Amino acid sequence: MGRLDNKVSIITGAATGIGEAAANVFAAEGARVILADVDEKQVNKTAENIRKEGGNAEAYHLDVSSEEGVKAFARHLEESYGTIDVLFNNAGVDEQGGKVHEYPVELFDKIIAVDLRGTFLVSKYLIPLMLENGGSIINNGSMSGHAADLDRSGYNAAKGGIINFTKAMAIDYARHGIRVNSVSPGTIETPLIDILVGGKEDDMGEKFRAANKWITPMGRLGRPTEMATVALFLASDDSSYVTGEDIKADGGIMAYTWPGKMLIEQDEWKKGTE
The predicted-structure confidence for 198-223, as pLDDT tens digits, reads as follows 787 788 888 889 888 989 999 999 99
Could you say which of 81, 103, 125, 155 is catalytic? 155
pLDDT at 1 over 80: no
- 155 has catalytic annotation: yes
CB 141 within 8 A of CB 230: no
Separate counts of helices (H) and strands (E) for the chain = 11, 7
What is the average pLDDT value for the chain, to the nearest integer? 95
% of the chain residues with pLDDT over 90: 84
pLDDT at 268 over 90: no
pLDDT of residue 139: 98
pLDDT of residue 274: 65
> In this predicted model, what pLDDT tens digit does every residue of 9-62 receive, in sequence order?
999 999 999 999 999 999 999 999 999 999 999 999 999 999 999 999 999 999
> In this predicted model, what pLDDT tens digit does every residue of 241-250 receive, in sequence order?
999 999 999 9
pLDDT of residue 82: 98
pLDDT of residue 179: 98
Give CA separation, 96 vs 143, 150, 250, in Å: 16, 8, 20
pLDDT at 132 over 80: yes
CB 156 within 8 A of CB 144: yes
Mark 54-92 as b/e (b = at least 16 C-beta within 10 Å): ebbbbbbebbbbeeebbeebbeebeeeeeebbbbbbbbb
Average pLDDT over residues 93-111: 96
Domains of the chain from N-terminus onward = 8-186+223-253 (3.40.50.720), 194-221 (no CATH)
C-alpha to C-alpha distance for 68 and 5, rounded to whole angstroms = 31
pLDDT at 2 over 70: yes
Higher pLDDT, 263 or 139: 139
pLDDT of residue 36: 98
pLDDT at 103 over 90: yes
Q: Which of 168, 141, 166 is nearest to 155 (CA)?
A: 141
> In this predicted model, what pLDDT tens digit does every residue of 228-262 receive, in sequence order?
999 999 999 999 999 999 999 999 999 999 888 88
pLDDT of residue 273: 79
pTM of the model: 0.95
C-alpha to C-alpha distance for 123 and 107, rounded to whole angstroms = 23
